[in-house]
Chains A and B, each alone.
Chain A
Amino acid sequence: MSDTVSGLLTIAALLTLLAVVYVPLGDHMARVFTSTRHLRVERALYRVGGIDPDAEQSARGYVLSLVAFSVVSIVLLLAILVGQAALPWDRGLPGMPWDMAVNTAVSFVTNTNWQSYAGESTLGFATQALGLTVQNVVSAAVGLAVAVALVRGFARAESSTLGSFWVDLVRGTVRVLLPLALVAAVLLLLGGVVQNLSDVTVRALGGGTQVVPGGLVASQEAVKQLGTNGGGFFNANSAHPFENPTALTNLLQVFLMLVVPVSLTRTFGTLVGSRRQGLVLLGAMGVLWAGALAVTTWAEVGGQGQAAQAAGAAMEGKETRFGEWASALFAVSTTGTSTGAVNASHDSMSPLGGGTVMAHMMLGEVSPGGVGSGLYGILVAAILAVFVAGLMVGRTPELLGKKIGSREMTYVALYTLVVPALVLVGIGTAIALPSTADAMGNPGGHGFSEVVYAFTSAANNNGSAFGGITVTSTFFQLTLAAAMLLGRFVPIVLVVLLAGSLARQRRVPTTAGTLPTATLLFGGLVVGVVLLVSALTFFPTLALGPVAEALTGAPR
């Protein structure tokens, strides 16, 4: 079998798996977030928290609870990271320096999972489990809650409430993420991912010794992918054989990244009473993902770039068992889902391949985006699309029976601007500092690309990196932390306010003048809007980095 057939079959297997779970998982999530029953464990949680699970919250109340939970999460994680020497199984490691701990705490609470540390040499086993595994689940549940709140904004009419943040958080955790994570963790374990509490030192066959590292890896790995987090237990992330031992676990990991964001379009369709609308949004996500995959695979498998030409294939930074096809598939899926896990070094990808995965994040993480954030991101793009279409035909834009007025458009416009602004201001500030040149791990345009990648990844809450850059200076730790924090919570607050505004409206009847949105044409319009907004924003930046490198790096 040729690599091409193998690669195409792998993609086909992935799509088949996603198609199989789309309806059952999508409908399950729809039931979870509309059910009036509380499970016993959930009641216990509400009792401990002093929460009335049947009390609905306004947009303001929803935001306040969400912000309070996230602030408390950052503080607790910070304490665990700094004070890890007091925990059991600390492997004799000291606490993290404060700036690295701030960066890491913000990183995991914002579902970014950017890592300025190397897991195996920095963190104890208890820290990873109590701190990072927990946030891998609950930060994803926060994203899920926000998406559900926005869906309720469309599904409800003349309602002053959006549901309860606490109920959405707890149900997303207990009924969606945890059961799926348990199954996934066991499958990974059977594939060879380790789950123990001891490092073993062996006398290596070829002489000397080698430490075979341990850790509660399988449980963390499952939620790392399922929650579109991406923070590796080890420095090499999913390229490490103990995180991702085989081609089969690799396929499972890509599936796990995509499964919740993809299935959420079904949940959305079910809850707003138009499953076709959900499919149209999924189609828009899928077109963007497939386009990025086609370009990246072509660049990587085609051996673009000087290093690949010199070596005979683009294998620098790639693992033998995955090869080029599965590495390209992983890279595109991780950048399209805001996961940020890597099974190969993105820094060593071809100029075009690395540039494409970077541009993929610049689309705003909607192909299909992170858990929850992908759905609310594409819905914001859809509102922008009906607005643009409304301008063209001169009618007040509507989506799913809700008028898109000036208040809604204000939230949408701010949402669209905030992340690109963070990226560009971050890059500009970093580049203005002379010390940034020393932080770059590669010369020329590629060094600039490392800085661009860092701020793009942080503000979009992706977390992958062009890893050659050294980001342990206090400047990078704090500016990237700020980009992650604002890039996560400013959009979230805007989305919940948007949801509140939509929920308050009455439903306008569909007339002959209403733009039908559950159509192929509208799906195309959404794709166009996403591409146009990011192209206009980022083209000059991309031109200076990967585009310049691809042109100067062409084989002579």
Chain B
Amino acid sequence: MTVVIRDLLRQSLAAVRVLLVLTVLLGVLYPAAVWAVGRVVPDRADGSLLRVDGVAVGSRLLGQAFEGGQWFHPRPSANDYDGLASAPSNLGPSNPDLLAAIRERRAAVAQEDGVSPSAVPADAVTASGSGLDPDISPAYAALQVPRVARERGLDEATVRRLVAEATSGRQLGFLGEPTVNVLELNASLPGAD
């Protein structure tokens, strides 16, 4: 037993020295190298900030809360779009609280946008995985067009064109889902600021 402990101690000395060198290599030099590459594409490395009149209003990759009929609404969020508290709801598939929340959201969207409850798409009544989902489905965006146009005194064709500009298809034509970026869309609305 004492032999084992002596060997273990001797190995530990080697381990301490190897680990410290590896910490410099992997914990300092490696992140620093990637950081240096990031300086070539600062827009992406610094969080893809969206600027309106030169002032950052958010990240194109992070959703924000938009209340009031004049805005396109994002998806429900488990953390109210807090940038420092990303989280899903973690409510289980049979949880009565989740089922009630889905019913309430469906009714609220149907009422605000004057559509039948069955026309409300799934992303409008479910919270995302991050609580910071920047996107909604094209269906949910289309459903909101008449209201936003009316509230802002715009014609629907103009708003539909802006939705189309904020819409991305599947990447490379086949990856992922078509999305509408809510922050970009709202920032593009005339008189948004």
Binding site for B on A (CB under 8 A): 1, 3, 5-6, 9-10, 13, 41, 44-45, 48-51, 61, 64-65, 67-69, 71-73, 76, 118, 120-121, 129-131, 133-134, 137-138, 166, 169-170, 173, 178, 181-182, 185-186, 189-197, 199-200, 202-208, 210-214, 216, 218-220, 222, 234-236, 239-242, 245-248, 250-251, 304-308, 310-323, 326-327, 342-345, 347-351, 354, 441-444, 446-447, 449, 466-468, 549, 552-553
Contact = CB atoms under 8 A, between A and B. Distances in A.
Contacts of A236: 86-88, 129-132
B172 to A, nearest CB: 7
B103 interface: yes
A446 B183 contact: no
A91 B69 CA distance: 37
A321 B47 contact: no
Nearest to B10: A68
A166 B85 CA distance: 40
A236 B63 CA distance: 14
A351 B94 CA distance: 8
Contacts of B55: 203
Nearest to A346: B90
B123 A3 contact: no
A350 B93 CA distance: 6
Given A138-B19, A204-B64, A345-B88, A321 B26 contact: no
A203 B51 CA distance: 11
5 contacts: A182-B30, A202-B56, A205-B64, A317-B88, A321-B176
A304 B92 CA distance: 12
A172 B55 CA distance: 46
Contacts, number: 391
Nearest to A120: B84
A342 B129 contact: yes
Given A134-B23, A306-B94, A443-B96, A72 B57 contact: no
Given A133-B27, A208-B65, A247-B177, A200 B56 contact: yes
Nearest to B16: A72
A50 B17 contact: yes
Contacts of B33: 182
A-B pairs with lowest CB-CB distance, top 10? A247-B176, A239-B129, A305-B93, A468-B90, A345-B88, A236-B86, A313-B122, A68-B11, A446-B92, A247-B175
A132 to B, nearest CB: 9
B111 interface: no
Contact of B26 (A51, A137, A319): A137
A305 B86 contact: no
Contact of B31 (A6, A51, A129): A129
Given A69-B15, A241-B130, A235 B57 contact: no
Contact of B94 (A120, A319, A553): A553
Contact of A65 (B11, B31, B96, B126): B11
A196 B45 contact: yes
Given A72-B12, A192-B48, A236-B86, A220 B31 contact: yes
Contacts of A354: 93
B65 to A, nearest CB: 6
Nearest to A197: B35
Contact of B122 (A204, A247, A311): A311
Most buried by A among B66, B75, B175, B187: B175
A99 to B, nearest CB: 22
Given A307-B94, A312-B121, 15 more contacts: A3-B177, A71-B12, A76-B23, A194-B44, A194-B47, A205-B186, A206-B65, A212-B83, A241-B130, A251-B175, A307-B95, A316-B98, A322-B177, A348-B91, A549-B92
B112 interface: no
A178 B18 contact: no
A130 B11 contact: no
A204 B88 contact: no
Nearest to B137: A320
Given A204-B64, A212-B49, A442 B7 contact: no
B83 A210 contact: yes
Given A49-B14, A192-B44, A320-B179, A245 B61 contact: yes
A195 B95 contact: no
B59 A219 contact: no
A442 B27 contact: no
Contact of B174 (A9, A203, A216): A9
A216 B129 contact: no
Nearest to A469: B90
Contacts of A350: 93
Contacts of A69: 11, 15, 18-19
Interface in B58-75: 58-59, 61-62, 64-68, 71, 75
Contacts of A553: 93-94
A193 B133 CA distance: 15
Contacts of B83: 210-213
A322 B176 contact: yes
A326 B61 CA distance: 18
Most buried by B among A189, A251, A317: A317
Contacts of A316: 88-89, 91, 93, 98, 102, 126-127
